Amino acid sequence: MKAVQLADELGSFFVTIEGVEGAGKSTLARLLGEKLKHDGVQVVVTAEPGGDPVGEQIRQLLLNSSNTLTRKAELLLFEAARAQHVERVIKPALANGAVVICDRFTDSSLAYQGWGRGINISEVRMLNDYATGGLRPHLTILLDLPPERGLVRTRSTDRFSRECIEFHRAVREGYLSIAREEPERFLVVNADQPIEVVAAAALDAINSCRLGKESG
Ligand SMILES: Nc1ncnc2c1ncn2[C@@H]1O[C@H](COP(=O)(O)OP(=O)(O)O)[C@@H](O)[C@H]1O
Ligand SMILES: [Mg+2]
């Protein structure tokens, strides 16, 4: 079964938000949740890694900067958290007819563990598919920003925020490359604009994509 088909069969609409540290993903997810709720849309806002009690514990392992993880262990922990998140949170919400907005998803593993850490991209893709059972977003909003701008914005001191600038540049390039490969799935937004401008562009894309899905 094709992955987008799987999301379609579950009913509703699945949006992911991606980008480097401090790009504005969590801010945008919250704003979109508020705006859609205001419009009477049933919406679930969630974030990776995490989303349920087990995922939150895996998140602590991954983000705690005193943990030294091998790159394979890091990838597998993200995938374990993702498998849990998909089964326990995302699929049930989609089956209920909700719009699900997820702060980070499979493209984060491609960009960070693939492009950033240097793990073979096809291996990351395979593990992504294994963890998600083939569930893919209808729409992915990539907040594009030079990483040095994002690192100034963020207050995070987690294991990833502490990586060198070259790592974050590779992550950004990775995201842009993935977006070029799948232009029909991605909306790339310049994140160096006021958050209201970013949110309006994202909301437009969600609404036209949802309409397109219903009529197509
Ligand atoms: N478009 C924007 N312009 C300026 N600052 C922003 C913008 N979007 C988010 N911020 C601010 O940048 C910081 C990081 O945002 P956040 O949403 O936590 O980023 P992320 O989740 O991508 O790491 C926060 O203080 C947030 O208020
Ligand atoms: Mg965030």
CA–CA separation, 43 and 33 (whole Å): 6
Specify the residue with its C-alpha closest to ligand 1, atom 10: 24
pLDDT, tens digit, 9 for 90 and up, residues 2-42: 555 555 555 589 999 999 999 999 999 999 999 999 999 99
First-to-last alpha carbon distance for the chain, in angstroms, is 18
Q: What is the pLDDT of residues 86-127, one digit of tens each?
A: 999 999 999 999 999 999 999 999 999 999 999 999 999 999
- Which residues sit with Cβ closer than 5 angstroms to ligand 2, an ion? 25-26
Residue 216 is predicted with a pLDDT of 58
CATH architecture of the domain covering 3-215:
3-Layer(aba) Sandwich (3.40)
Q: What is the pLDDT of residue 213?
A: 76
Q: Give me the residues paired with residue 146 across strands.
A: none
- pLDDT greater than 80 at residue 130: yes
Centre of ligand 1 from the C-alpha of residue 191, in Å:
9
Whether pLDDT at 81 is above 80: yes
Q: What mean pLDDT do residues 203-214 have?
A: 88
Task: Decide: 23 in ligand 1 pocket, CB within 6 A.
Answer: yes
Predicted local distance difference test score (pLDDT) of residue 2: 53
Q: Which residue has the higher pLDDT, 157 or 114?
A: 114
Binned at pLDDT 50, 70 and 90, residue 44 comes out as: very high
Query: Quick one: average pLDDT of 150-172?
Result: 95
Main-chain dihedrals φ then ψ at residue 183, nearest 5 degrees: -60, -25
> Is the Cβ atom of 177 under 6 angstroms away from ligand 1?
no
Residue 56 region, left (φ>0) first, then alpha (ψ -120 to 50), else beta?
A: alpha
For the chain, give the mean pLDDT: 94
| 69-85 average pLDDT score | 98
Pairing of strands 13-19, 186-190: unpaired
Q: Is the CB of 191 under 6 A from ligand 1?
A: yes
Secondary structure in 3-state letters for the chain: CCHHHHHHHHCCEEEEEEECCCCCHHHHHHHHHHHHHHCCCCEEEEECCCCCHHHHHHHHHHHCCCCCCCHHHHHHHHHHHHHHHHHHHHHHHHHCCCEEEEECCHHHHHHHHHHHCCCCHHHHHHHHHHHHCCCCCCEEEEEECCHHHHHHHCCCCCCCCCCCHHHHHHHHHHHHHHHHHCCCCEEEEECCCCHHHHHHHHHHHHHHHHHHHHHC
CA torsion through residues 18, 23, 29, 35, sign: negative
What pLDDT, on the 0 to 100 scale, is given for residue 211? 81
Which ligand neighbours the alpha carbon of 17 most closely?
1
Q: Could you tell me the distance, in angstroms and rounded to a whole number, from the CA of residue 72 to the centre of ligand 2?
A: 23
For ligand 1, pick from 112, 154, 157, 161 the residue to mutate: most ligand atoms within 8 Å of CB.
Answer: 154
Distance CA 63, CA 199 (A): 27
Q: Is the CB of 25 under 6 A from ligand 1?
A: yes
pLDDT of amino acid 212? 82
From 27, 32, 101, 172, mutation site for ligand 1 pocket: most ligand atoms within 8 A of C-beta: 27
The predicted structure's pLDDT at residue 3:
52
Distance 191 CA to ligand 2 centre (A): 14
Supply the residue whose CA is at minimum distance from atom 16 of ligand 1. Answer: 24
Q: Is the pLDDT of residue 167 over 80?
A: yes
188 lines ligand 1 (CB under 6 A): no
Mean pLDDT of the region 139-160: 95
Return the axis-axis angle of helices 121-132 and 71-85, rounded to nearest 10°.
30
